[in-house]
Amino acid sequence: MKPVVHVVGAGLAGLAAALAVARSGHAVHLYEAAPQAGGRCRSFHDPVLDRVIDNGSHLLLGVNRVALDYLKASGGLDFVHALPPRIHFAHVGNGHTWTASPTRLPVSAWEVLRAVWPGGGTVAQRLGSCRGFADFWQPLCLAIMNTAPAAADARLFARVLRAILLGGRAGFRGYAFPHGLSAALIDPALARLGELGAGIHFGQRLTGISQQWLTFAERAVSLGKNDRVILALPPWALESLLPDNGNFDTETITNVHFRLPHAHTLSHPLGLIGGMGQWLFVRGDVASVTISAAQTPPDAAILWREIAPVLDLHLPLPPHRVVQEKRATLRHTPSSSRRRPGPTTDRDGVFLAGDWLASPWPCTMESAISSGLAAARLALGRDDLRLS
Ligand SMILES: Cc1cc2nc3c(=O)[nH]c(=O)nc-3n(C[C@H](O)[C@H](O)[C@H](O)COP(=O)(O)OP(=O)(O)OC[C@H]3O[C@@H](n4cnc5c(N)ncnc54)[C@H](O)[C@@H]3O)c2cc1C
């Protein structure tokens, strides 16, 4: 009898796993504790701003090939905007602006070589004495690793930089989400799963797992002999279900969303240097400022004073909403990189997925989606499963 695959957790990892299984013609059920899918990557209507906002601005890169395959397979690619292969920066203190591209980085070739070198240690140990540290390497490290350079794993950072730089113009290109994260990454995948006959069950929090049963808060699902289970859950959700899967430190990402008096034309993410905010994204009449690895909640008034001149808006603090994702990603230290586990467990037929598993990427959409595909391949014993 063909196995039924039960995927628990409808974040990107679970959605990708379910989509890969469903596309192969196998039966799949997807269970999610929350009333909606998306996990750490989702949109919602905010009553203060009266706008649909994201839990945090996300950027995909051209080198994130598995994530792009997922967008193609689900139909979400139509809701994505490909940006030119450049990163724009502005200094909030002196108004100076500059641009980085794969062929024109604002640092010396020697610093780039040092950054991509495959050795160990932290990013600060490796790059802290470089001239371009404060204005380039530090913001890049926070954006990529969501970990301060003093703690961030230099080996993982170097691996990501190599992938981006070797990817050329196509790899350096960013992909933004002008209609929101859910419109591109979540809703199309759910619709495609529905078309393929997948069972989708919201409000189902898994509380226990045995050889015969998946136990949810309000019901139990019996497992057939050939059935497979993919736990697409973050490590903190797994602790009570499968102990010994590691205790990981995490980092916060905070976004402050400002409702502008009218739509603004800034069409690309802007790296902010010299202030508290780190990245500025504008979608219509909402400007969103990201702060990675933030230790304390930001002061919205200070952030507004930083971005108002950049947007050429000389107004008092507008309506705003602070969204703090306390466990946005792992803290990517050299030791956490060594401890990220693989997708197999000590239970037959039970596999793991999630952005935190061993990966050439830090916790990102790419690592989440790749892990879902890898778990689906293992669950069905099919190395040839693809999302493209
Ligand atoms: C603010 C912010 C900004 C980010 N920016 C970027 C970016 O620019 N680029 C990028 O690539 N990545 C970015 N990321 C990272 C990216 O969002 C995550 O790596 C990815 O969404 C993780 O997906 P996941 O499926 O592994 O985990 P999750 O999204 O955490 O999904 C796990 C799901 O499991 C559910 N669940 C938990 N416990 C149970 C249970 N017991 N039973 C049933 N369901 C359960 C949860 O509700 C959740 O829906 C960002 C993350 C945040 C928070």
Q: What are phi and psi of 13, to 5 degrees?
A: -65, -45
Do 235 and 346 share a domain, yes or no?
A: yes
Do 184 and 152 share a domain, yes or no?
A: no
Rounded to whole angstroms, the Cα distance separating 120 from 157 reads 10
Whether 246 has a pLDDT exceeding 80, the answer reads: no
pLDDT of residue 102: 86
Asked, for residue 13, whether it belongs to a domain, the answer is yes
Do 340 and 234 share a domain, yes or no?
A: yes
pLDDT of residue 1: 74
Q: What is the mean pLDDT of residues 223-227?
A: 96
Whether 209 has a pLDDT exceeding 90, the answer reads: yes
Do 241 and 358 share a domain, yes or no?
A: yes
- Decide the pairing of beta strands 350-353 and 87-91: unpaired
Q: What percent of the chain has pLDDT over 90?
A: 93
Do 191 and 134 share a domain, yes or no?
A: no
Q: What's the CATH code of the domain at 375?
A: 3.50.50.60
Could you tell which of 58, 181, 256 is best to mutate to test the pocket of ligand 1, judged by most ligand atoms within 8 Å of the CB?
58
The response to whether residue 363 sits with its C-beta less than 6 Å from ligand 1 reads: yes
Do 42 and 139 share a domain, yes or no?
A: no
Do 140 and 234 share a domain, yes or no?
A: no
Do 233 and 127 share a domain, yes or no?
A: no
Whether 245 has a pLDDT exceeding 80, the answer reads: no
Query: Counting atoms of ligand 1 from 1, which one is nearest the CA of 207?
Result: 41
Asked, for residue 307, whether it belongs to a domain, the answer is no
Q: How far is the CA of 162 from the centre of ligand 1 (A)?
A: 25
Q: What is the mean pLDDT of residues 150-155?
A: 98
Asked, for residue 311, whether it belongs to a domain, the answer is no
pLDDT of residue 375: 98
Q: Which of 113, 138, 166 is the last residue of a domain?
A: 166
The response to whether residue 362 sits with its C-beta less than 6 Å from ligand 1 reads: no
The response to whether residue 232 sits with its C-beta less than 6 Å from ligand 1 reads: yes
Q: Which of 144, 166, 188 is the last residue of a domain?
A: 166
**Secondary structure (DSSP) of 72-109:** HHHTGGGG-EEPPS-EEEEETTT--EEEEBTTB-SS-H
Whether 32 has a pLDDT exceeding 80, the answer reads: yes
What would the pLDDT profile of 69-125 be if each residue is shown by its tens digit? 999 999 999 999 999 999 999 999 999 999 999 889 999 999 999 999 999 999 999
Asked, for residue 173, whether it belongs to a domain, the answer is no
The response to whether residue 375 sits with its C-beta less than 6 Å from ligand 1 reads: no
Evaluate the CA torsion angle 331, 243, 39, 195 in order and state its sign: positive
- Ligand 1, atom 1, lies closest to the CA of 56
Taking alpha carbons only, the member of 138, 115, 102, 101 closest to residue 274 is 138
Could you tell which of 6, 175, 359, 364 is best to mutate to test the pocket of ligand 1, judged by most ligand atoms within 8 Å of the CB?
364
The response to whether residue 8 sits with its C-beta less than 6 Å from ligand 1 reads: yes
Neighbour-count burial of 179, counting CB atoms closer than 10 A to its CB (0-12 exposed, 13-18 middle, 19+ buried) = middle
Count up the domains in the chain and report the number.
2
Asked, for residue 124, whether it belongs to a domain, the answer is yes
The number of beta carbons lying within 10 Å of the beta carbon of residue 121 is 13
Could you tell which of 19, 30, 40, 371 is best to mutate to test the pocket of ligand 1, judged by most ligand atoms within 8 Å of the CB?
40
Taking each helix axis as running N to C, give the angle between helix 65-74 and helix 365-380, from 0 to 180 degrees, rounded to the nearest 10: 70
Do 235 and 193 share a domain, yes or no?
A: yes
pLDDT of residue 75: 97
pLDDT of residue 222: 97
Asked, for residue 206, whether it belongs to a domain, the answer is yes
Query: Counting atoms of ligand 1 from 1, which one is nearest the CA of 143?
Result: 8
pLDDT of residue 295: 82
Q: How far is the CA of 346 from the centre of ligand 1 (A)?
A: 24
Do 192 and 155 share a domain, yes or no?
A: no
What would the pLDDT profile of 300-344 be if each residue is shown by its tens digit? 999 999 999 999 999 999 999 999 999 999 999 999 999 999 999
The response to whether residue 330 sits with its C-beta less than 6 Å from ligand 1 reads: no
Asked, for residue 274, whether it belongs to a domain, the answer is no
The span from the first CA to the last CA of the chain, in angstroms, equals 27
pLDDT of residue 2: 82
Could you tell which of 53, 233, 252 is best to mutate to test the pocket of ligand 1, judged by most ligand atoms within 8 Å of the CB?
233
What would the pLDDT profile of 259-307 be if each residue is shown by its tens digit? 999 999 999 999 999 999 999 999 999 999 999 998 888 999 999 999 9
Q: What is the mean pLDDT of residues 179-183?
A: 97
Asked, for residue 171, whether it belongs to a domain, the answer is no
The response to whether residue 151 sits with its C-beta less than 6 Å from ligand 1 reads: no
Q: How far is the CA of 309 from the centre of ligand 1 (A)?
A: 33
Q: How far is the CA of 17 from the centre of ligand 1 (A)?
A: 14
Per mean pLDDT, which range of 35-49, 151-165, 239-253 is the poorest?
A: 239-253
Q: Which of 139, 166, 193 is the last residue of a domain?
A: 166
pLDDT of residue 317: 97
pLDDT of residue 297: 86
The number of beta carbons lying within 10 Å of the beta carbon of residue 81 is 13
Do 149 and 10 share a domain, yes or no?
A: no
The response to whether residue 167 sits with its C-beta less than 6 Å from ligand 1 reads: no
Do 234 and 138 share a domain, yes or no?
A: no
Give me the domain span that covers residue 345: 5-46+180-248+333-380
pLDDT band at 168 (very low <50, low <70, confident <90, very high): confident
